[in-house]
Structure 1
Amino acid sequence: MTTSKVLGLAAALSALLVTSGTALAQKKYDTGASDTEIKIGNIMPYSGPASAYGVIGKVEAAYFNMINEQGGINGRKINFVTYDDGYSPPKAVEQARKLVESDEVLFVFSPLGTASNSAVQKYMNAKKVPQLFVATGATKFGEYKSFPWTMGWQPPYQSEGRSYAKYLLSAKPEAKIAVLYQNDDFGKDLLKGFKDGLGDKAALIVAEESYEVSEPTIESHIVKLKATGADTFVSITTPKFAAQAIKKVAEVAWKPMYFQSNVGASVGSVLKPAGFDNSQGLLSAAYAKDGADAQWDNDEGMKKFYAFLAKYAPDASRIDASVVYGYGIAQTVEQVLRQAGDDLTRANVMKQAANLKDVSLDTLLPGVKVNTSATDFYPIEQLQMIQFKGEKWDRFGPVISGEVGR
């Protein structure tokens, strides 16, 4: 072998070693990640008073099954570990510890419930394990300075409350308002946004009633609120209680301007059980497409969503807003993990989650995009008013950006 050939071979081997070394150096893993797997934890109320939301976890699991069948994310399969907390904060703490300390997940994704996430937030941040895209709109889950390992996903409840107030002041400036709200951080947060939006017109609220999730029915609250003579009703309720309220308002022949909070506005799990006749004219706000609306049948994003349901979640109903929610939030975490590449450390997962730029999801309304930054932990901050007519929600007015003051 000539000297030139030896030198050439040596150079080639040297280049190969450098390239291999760079590739190896780029791979960084924390607990829960490897060359073949990304282990993700989840906590859902598969039982208890908020069990209607349990389908979110089932859709997320189906979405990851689809991803795995397609080859995974950057060649790694998703191992999705999901537990039931019954919508109980103490149980949520128990399940979070199990996921982090026993199952050793890389991060916890889409845990549902304001009270449950409040209960585990300090623990997750002390452990420096991402509590990513919590399934609640409580404003506290975007406080990046205090809790840098926690991030929300859906529009903050305070933004939603302000949207209702803005519409109400223009449509019915002399309203007499009655409010029913869930007595926890969810209900109080949305109510605060509503009052902030009313500003010096907050005195238009003539009555407030709170309910506990342990109550079997909220019918007595409806009777009391109707007796106040209010002509406007704001129902800050989760699905079980939202359906009860719609039924009872119709039963007592109360005809207020009726606002229903987004989390209790699903056609499939709330309005259909409550009765479409009873639901006519209801007002709410949305950021996602309505699977019950035929206008989306030829929408490219929704065609992908419907195809996913047909193959991977055939028992899930397209008209259930929680099904749409589960798909959209899973698609968001897929984007984060693709951006993370081979640096699957917990710190980089949070870094990528805080670096989402104008991300379009298949199920978001036109004009609504996912945006985050190191100082903005509220991925979705846009809403559009909707009104229920026939068997679907109709959108009206502009897409409103309700950014939370930071």
Structure 2
Amino acid sequence: MDQISLPVLTNDDSHKKLKVENRRKNIFVTQSGELGEQNTEQMKHIPVITECSSRVLETGVNTLQATLLLKKQVDMNDAHRTLLDKRHQFKGVMQILQQRRADLQHRQLETKQRAAKFEKFVEENEMKRRRALKKFLQEKHQNECKEKEKAELSTQLEQLQARRLYLQERVKKYTIFEEFLLKVLQILPDNYQGYGTDLVTPIIRRHETLSTSRQELLKQSTSLTEELKTNQHHLDALKQQHTTYKLMSNQKLTELQTQLDEIKEKKKQQEMKLQRSVGQSRDQVEEMGNIFMAVRNLGEQCYLNHYGPLDVMDTMTMMDMIKEFIMEKADLEKRAMRLTDTSSGTPVKQTSSKIPMKSSSKGSSRTTLKIPQREK
């Protein structure tokens, strides 16, 4: 936007100058009141302007429109200059923000790359951890198997050592018998029947047979003992089960007894309610019978031919017939009253006849009509 220069005021433009009237006198009070009154004529009067220059230009009488236009133009130039400064500041701020955004995007990209590398590193570490854990489990399983084998071999070694000690003791024990047999062989004569034959072997065979029989008997005794223990455990389990079943049966029996008592109590209450309802139903039946008899009697007295025979007529139809008969009687009474009032010259008064009878709808099974019983 082009800047507009302000025109220069010369001495010739006397009509454009600001004229201010002497509206107020400024008096500097430095003396007493008497001296002030005497020297009033010698004092100079200074004009005082209390309004701003723009206001004076706008409200002045002698101010021209051109001066006001120039003033507005100056204000507009200042506003335009301020606007340009604000625009430059805004552009600078936007550039800074764009630079920050670019830096932030670059940092986000670097962060994503670092996160991807870290995830890859974590996955590799997880795979290494799984392989190490798998290897550890395999080695642990192998060590457990080796420990089991070691324990079994140690047990077998202890058993073999115990067996060796046992055999050594038996050899020491039976050495006496061997020496005795050798001495017997030496003492025997040369013409002995069994001389020259092996006498130790049959004895050893007999001993082996007896030893085998003993072991079989021991095994049989052990099996019988185990079977006895098993049967004893089974018997204890059966006893425990029987005790539990007995307790459960007693508890269930107690609950059933309680339910039976409750059912008996409910039965008594139901019987009492039934007796009450039977007594009420009898009263209701008797009342309904009386009502039906009263309706029948009224039907006989209020019979209308267009309703058909009275014997085959139901109660609701009979009540409608009675209602219609009473309505006709009431209408006839009203007409007679009107004729009487007309002939006598008295004004006609409206009389309302109340019908003390209520007929229930056909869907209801009980009527509210109450008629006193006839005396027998």
- TM-score for both structures, normalised by structure 1: 0.17
The structure that is strand-richer by fraction is 1
- Structure ranking higher on relative contact order (CA contacts 8 Å, 6+ apart): 1
**Structure having the higher Rg:** 2
